[in-house]
A and B are shown apart, each in its own frame.
Chain A
Amino acid sequence: MHGPDVSWYVALAGILFATGAIGVLVRRSPLIILLSVEIMLNGANLALMAFARHLGNEQGQVFAIAVMAVAASEVVVGLGLIVAMGRRNLQLDVDEFRTLRG
């Protein structure tokens, strides 16, 4: 059982990462930006898993699980901020938040 080489997985991971980056830069809703950041983290995770398989070493998989935990923490804090914005009846549009602009 061989299937595609690990380089195919790495190329797919790169495309996923680029797709998530487009989402972060183009969309203006903070909810969609968080979802796109999840896509980028998953692209990185796929690369970690592919290299773990390439090297025959499980430490990459351990790293992928740590990335998952960090992603969960990031979602908690990000969604907390978004809910706080929503409760203040702000328009959920990152272009509208300019209080800190000089």
Chain B
Amino acid sequence: MANFLVWCVWVVAAFACLASALGVISFRNPFFSALALIANLASLAVLYLLLGGEFVAAAQILVYGGAVMVMFLFVIAYLGEKTGEAPWAGGPSWQLVATVLAAAAILVEVIVAVGLSTGGELSHSAHITRSFGSPESIGRLFLTNQLIAFEVTSIVLLIAAVGGVVLGSHARAIEMAPEPEHLVEEASFAGVGAEADARA
């Protein structure tokens, strides 16, 4: 009975996951795409719970579904109307056919590689304790075996924050010193901040 219930949850979560992923890549309005990605992340969190990753599922909801997606929605609300495109309009072009073929090739490659290296024996056979994937054991790993990864991750986040601030302040310098229209069109991306600084 419990087995049947787990199957039901898995099937529902997997279909929600695939449907929302297709929604992300096919909605015309980027706002709907972002909402579909939130549904995708939530159904993936359910799958992580089925795999025994409680802490990762919670982090997925908090970090991805909360922080990252709020930032996405903010930017889409700011600039979303500048991105009108109809992704599947005008019938299949050769680029579209080539893209789908390339993606199918990636999928077949992944399945063949995994199948060959594991011999088709992927099961829940490994014995796990009750604390598998709990915050306590993940935290212990982070502070013992994976300490370098932990520290490097913090540095990566710091550098990303600095990069975000630098990009934002360059954009503000451009806004303060508006240029003639033809210069704005043709100026290279990196040079504009320096020009604006020199003018100020």
Residues of A within 8 A of B (CB): 1-12, 14-23, 25-32, 34-36, 38-39, 42, 45-46, 49-50, 52-59, 61-62, 64-66, 68-77, 79-84, 86-89, 91-93, 99-100
Task: Summarize A's interface: helix, strand, loop or mixed.
Answer: helix
Beyond A29-B30, A62-B146, whether A81 also contacts B167 by CB under 8 A is: yes
Q: How many residues of B contact A (CB 8 A)?
A: 94
A25 and B102 in contact, given A5-B124, A53-B126, A72-B157 (Cβ under 8 angstroms): yes
Interface residue from A23, A50, A72 paired with B51 (Cβ < 8 Å)? A50
| Cβ–Cβ contact B33 & A32, under 8 A | yes
Check B194 for interface membership: any CB of A closer than 8 A: no
Contacting residues, chain A, for B175 (C-beta < 8 A): 87
- Judge whether A62 and B124 touch: CB under 8 Å: no
- A26-B95, A31-B79, A76-B163 are known; give 10 further A-B pairs, CB within 8 A: A3-B7, A10-B122, A35-B33, A49-B48, A53-B51, A61-B53, A61-B56, A84-B167, A87-B174, A93-B85
